[in-house]
Amino acid sequence: MNTGIVDGHILAEFWEVSIRTIQNYSNEKKFNPPLPKVDTNKYDLITACKWIYNMQKEKIHKLKTAGDEKLSDLKKEKQIIDNKKAELALKREMRKIVDAKSVLIAWTNLQKVIKNNDTQLEYDLIRDLEGVTDEKKKAEIISKGFAEKDRQLERNDIVKYIVDEESFLREAI
């Protein structure tokens, strides 16, 4: 009789687990590799101890590296975001892209200039058309008014309406 063979109850008591846990360890569907059996509910104690040792060693390794992998992934994601921010900053510095807020401010300022030009054109046309009865002359005055307005708008450079907040703040200090 081989004295190294124990039943599942003794093994469960030795490992301080339930008999159901020993049965689960032996199930091929739940553990790979499963706890090797000598016979139904019979185990070689040395083989079983080697198996549990290897299983615990693998579990410890997974726990140690799982945190490292997650931390590494987070560091990689942070680096990607930092790289994108640096790329945007460089493009802004090289004037390949502009800040949306600056463009919005410039566009708003330009719209105000256009609106003022429209108002001025309206007053000029009312003044210039007063007393004119000839339709051809009226059309000529209107054409000249719009042509002058177009020339004024062409002279407007949108860049001068962009407010560079950083330089504005530096000048204020």
pLDDT tens sequence across 19-61: 999 999 998 888 888 999 998 889 988 899 999 998 888 888 7
25 assigned to some structural domain: yes
Interatomic CA distance for residues 159 and 12, integer angstroms? 81
Both tokens of residue 19? 């008999």
The answer on 118 and 54 residing in a single domain is no
Q: pLDDT tens digit string along 77-117? A: 888 888 888 887 777 777 666 666 777 777 787 788 788 87
pLDDT on residue 120: 83
* Domain limit, last residue, from 19, 48, 69: 69
Strand 42-44 and strand 5-7: the pairing is antiparallel
The residue segments making up the domain with residue 164 are 100-172
* Domain limit, last residue, from 48, 69, 90: 69
63 has a pLDDT exceeding 60: yes
Both tokens of residue 70? 């997650």
169 has a pLDDT exceeding 70: no
How many distinct structural domains can be found in the chain? 2
- Do residues 46 and 4 touch, judged by C-beta distance below 8 A? yes
80 assigned to some structural domain: no
Name the residue with tokens 């005055």: 141
